[in-house]
């Protein structure tokens, strides 16, 4: 899950840089980084919770 999140961060950052270079919007670097880190943290937490939930729902076979 971590690899997917970091890949999405890189894609989002690249898209924001392209948009800024085209002059469509003006970006504040600090706010962009804060937003990306909040999004990445939330995605990692949600991914971890979903993974733990999936693991808890798997039937046990009695084997070690």
- Identify whether 64 is part of a domain: no
Distance between CA atoms of residues 64 and 17, nearest Å: 50
Domain residue limits at 32: 1-57
- Identify whether 29 is part of a domain: yes
pLDDT digits 0-9 by tens, 33-64: 888 888 888 888 888 888 888 776 766 666 65
- Identify whether 44 is part of a domain: yes
- Identify whether 62 is part of a domain: no
Residue 14's nearest CA partner among 42, 22, 49, 60 is 22
pTM of this structure: 0.61
């Amino acid at each position: 899950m971590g690899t997917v999140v970091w890949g999405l961060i890189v894609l989002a950052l690249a898209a924001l840089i392209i948009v800024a270079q085209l002059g469509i919007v003006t970006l504040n670097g600090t706010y962009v980084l804060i937003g990306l880190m909040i999004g990445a943290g939330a995605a990692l937490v949600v991914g971890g919770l979903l993974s733990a939930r999936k693991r808890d729902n798997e039937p046990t076979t009695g084997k070690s």
